[in-house]
Amino acid sequence: MTKCLLFVDDEQMVLDGLRRALWSMRGEWEMHFVSSGAAALDALDSMPFDAVVTDMRMPGMDGVQLLELVKERHGNLVRIVLSGQSSKDAILRSVAPAHQFLSKPCNLQELKARLNQAFASRDLLSNQPLASIVSRMRSIPSLPHLYNDLTVALRDENTSLRQIEEIISHDVGMAAKILQLANSAFIAAHGRVSSLHEALSLIGAETVRSLTLSIHVFSQFDRNAATAAHLPAIWDHSVAVASLAHRIAITETGSKHMAEESFTTGLLHDVGKIVLLAEMPKEYQQVVASLDGNNQSFRELEIKYVGCPHEQIGAYLMSVWGLPVPIVQAVEFHHVPSAAAHTEFSSLTAVHCADAIVSASDASPLNHDVDVDTRHVEALGLVDILPQWACFHEEYLSANARNQPSQDAKALST
């Protein structure tokens, strides 16, 4: 299906250059070019679009102001800044309304890849109104105590980047936002960033401090108590999956990059559940309430009450935020990796196996939603090694149990 794109730039030469450069896409994209924010809003009101790509610095209404209005009026659009203005302040201003930030001169293959990835994930959704809700999200809410821990740490200028990473590596929402920013062009990373450690190293402590204390790009979950009560179980599960996926990947491949990507993806794999709890709490409460004594699967209950499974929601948000393909695919296919047709070990394999192992011993029914995809593990010859990976998780649980008394004592003293 043809996608409709709107390009906005006050320099006619830039628009003409984009029109020529993207001529080969005319069979897949219907493209419109306007020279002001006001003209863009008129165009958006007159016909449906799938994405808007705008310059940052324009007279009258700049790109950030335009995208703020687009977010409110046309929430389902993919919103991209394409600008030669790459100062830190300009980028930070765009973090809230823009999904992605690309620099001029534009790498057209990168622009095509990012847009097509976002469109593909959105088209999979069986609940398009929910896609609009997800597209409007500025951030994924964090656990209040982790949000507070980060805020306190960043007010102390002596806090190291390693200490900041320790907090963020336990929080799904903050980790996803850091990955989104790290994959913006102004970071000048060589290739897409799929490691939380690498992302924080590229961004730096001062930018994280600005994002948190000045821009307030992170948020804490402040919804009703019944909904919030489910969050700690999801966070504990996500961290456990991330830790086991990291160990599985380093054991099987010896690759630090693969291990870090697997950790990051493991942390984000159930991001769709958090989005649904935040944005559709009543409907998702029905899913949770129906888990006990119901013959329907977790996936069937999600489709029944919210219109689509959580992995589709998570994959769409990660794709529209511009995260690398391996992360998006692992979020989308972490229940059934065989559907992704991967023929060799990847972060998807590590996360799927870790998720299945952790879920088997998880006390929360909210995390009992996956079984080992035997077709996938048999194809990769991994069946016999699954018991060893399960032992890795037992070691993780034992270590956590030993550390728990000291953590409880610390909590009581604060």
Give tens-digit pLDDT for 22-33.
999 989 999 999
pLDDT at 86 exceeding the cut of 70: no
Can you list the alpha helix ranges (DSSP code H) found in 136-255?
144-155, 161-168, 172-182, 196-203, 205-209, 225-228, 231-253
Helix (H) or strand (E) holding 88: helix 88-94
In this prediction the pTM is 0.90
- Is the bond into 105 cis (omega within 30 degrees of 0)? yes
Identify the pLDDT of residue 121. Answer: 87
Q: CA dist 200 to 155, 174, 194, Å?
A: 17, 11, 11
- Let me know: does 80 contact 71? Beta carbons within 8 Å: no
Name the β-bridge partners of 377: none
Identify the band that residue 268 occupies on the pLDDT scale cut at 50, 70 and 90: very high
CA dihedral 317, 272, 144, 176 (to 10 degrees): -40
Q: What's the maximum distance between 2 C-alpha atoms anywhere in the chain? A: 65
Over residues 98-124, the mean pLDDT reads 86
Can you state the angle between helices 386-413 and 231-253, rounded to 10 degrees? 140
Per the listing, tokens 């090694």 go with 385
CA gap 309, 370 in Å, rounded: 13
Residue intervals in the chain for CATH 1.10.3210.10: 143-414
Span 143-414: which CATH code?
Answer: 1.10.3210.10
| Segment 350-369 mean pLDDT | 94
The mean pLDDT of 318-340, rounded to a whole number, is 95
**Residue 328 identity:** V
Looking at residue 96, the DSSP 8-state letter turns out to be: T
CA distance 188 to 329: 24
Residue with tokens 């790109």: 63
pLDDT at 314: 95
- How many residues in total does the chain contain? 414
Residue 394: its pLDDT value, please? 96
Please say whether the beta carbons of 333 and 340 come within 8 A. Answer: yes
Q: Is 31 helix (H, G, I), strand (E, B) or coil?
A: strand
Please give the structure tokens belonging to residue 228: 């919030």
| pLDDT at residue 85, as a whole number | 65
Answer whether residue 412 shows pLDDT above 50: no
Residues of the chain with CATH 3.40.50.2300: 3-124
Residue 225's pLDDT is what? 78
Assigned fold of 3-124? Rossmann fold (3.40.50)
| Cα 334 off chain centre by | 14
Higher-confidence residue of 79 and 103: namely 79
Q: Which residues contact 222 (CB under 8 A, 6 or more apart)?
A: 141, 144
